[in-house]
Amino acid sequence: MPAKKFPTLRAQWLGEELRKHRMDANVTLADAGQYLQRDQGTISRIENGLVPARVADVMALLNFYGVDDPMVRANLEQISRDAWQKGWWDGYSKHAPAWMLDLAWMESRARHIRSFDPIVFHGMLQTEEFARALIAAGDPDVSSGQIDKWVDLRMERKRILAGNQPVRFSSVVDESVLRRRLGGTEVIRGQLRHLLNLADNSSVQIRVLPGDARVHPAPNGAFALLDLPEPYPHVGHIDTVSGNLWVEGEEADVIAKRYDRLESAALSPADSAAKIRQLLKELE
């Protein structure tokens, strides 16, 4: 499925902020369009995130709306520049949905990513072999060429965990995920070894939620949290059968509190590594 031309979330965030300032200034769509010498339909499409506004138009609208706060102006200018930014993920626009490219962009900008993984390992933790087995199992009718593209995209996303300024990544993994032999014994052996290697990375923290835990603080399923720098909000990402859900503000705060409870219920990183080594030994 081809992605939309523009990064949806960036354009939506920009549009929402511009709409808020227009309404605060008691300006109509027609007036804003006339000021920019555009039709009001163009302003409406910008505010609905269908197209991103160019930097010059954003600054002109802020002038028209009487927005003088230098921080607000700098933030919206940055979002507008980011809305037009191209990255390595754009090379996959013909092979991946728009939400997946948005996710790759947000991961590249994140300071800290946290995930709860009760079904499968988060994409950042997956080996190429595990990712290939997982994608093939999820959609047995997909072509091998399409699988190759999705696997390549997933492996590219993982590059943020390396380098001089790696993104912090924390995961609480349910013990059942470690025991599930998706792809066969050899694939899961390689996956468990990979987790142990990642555990040696100071920017990665893996905790196992043991199977005998008496309390399960997140019975509703998997989620991820992305802590983005200003001017962006903290974002919660939930992958569902019918689509992907993004939440911000208080809703994201609720998810963050749930993650904290999960982390408290899980084993320490050291004990989690010991559990992984134990399960790996059982597979030998």
pLDDT per residue as tens digits for the range 110-143: 999 999 999 999 999 999 999 999 999 888 888 8
Quick one: average pLDDT of 255-267? 93
Assign 198 to helix, strand or coil.
Answer: helix
Q: What is the model's pLDDT at position 2?
A: 41
Instruction: Tell me the C-alpha distance between 175 and 249, whole Å.
Output: 30
CA 114, 119, 123 angle in degrees (round to 5)? 50
Instruction: Tell me the C-alpha distance between 13 and 5, whole Å.
Output: 16
Contact 269, 205 (CB under 8 A): yes
Contact 188, 182 (CB under 8 A): yes
Res 241 pLDDT > 80:
no
Instruction: Tell me the C-alpha distance between 277 and 188, whole Å.
Output: 12
Specify burial of residue 140 (Cβ count, 10 A radius: 0-12, 13-18, 19+).
exposed
Quick one: average pLDDT of 70-77? 90
* Residue whose token pair is 């490219």: 101
Nearest CA-CA partner of 115 in 152, 79, 157, 149: 157
Q: Kindly report whether the peptide bond that precedes residue 219 is cis, defined as omega within 30 degrees of 0.
A: no
* Residue whose token pair is 């749930």: 258
Render the burial of 17-31: b for 16+ CB within 10 Å, e for the rest. bbbebbeeeebebee
Q: What is the model's pLDDT at position 219?
A: 64
The backbone torsions φ and ψ at residue 268, rounded to the nearest 5 degrees and listed phi first, read -65, 160
For 1-53, the pLDDT digits (tens) are 344 454 467 888 889 899 999 999 999 999 999 999 999 999 999 998 888 88
Q: What is the model's pLDDT at position 220?
A: 74
* Residue whose token pair is 């503000």: 249
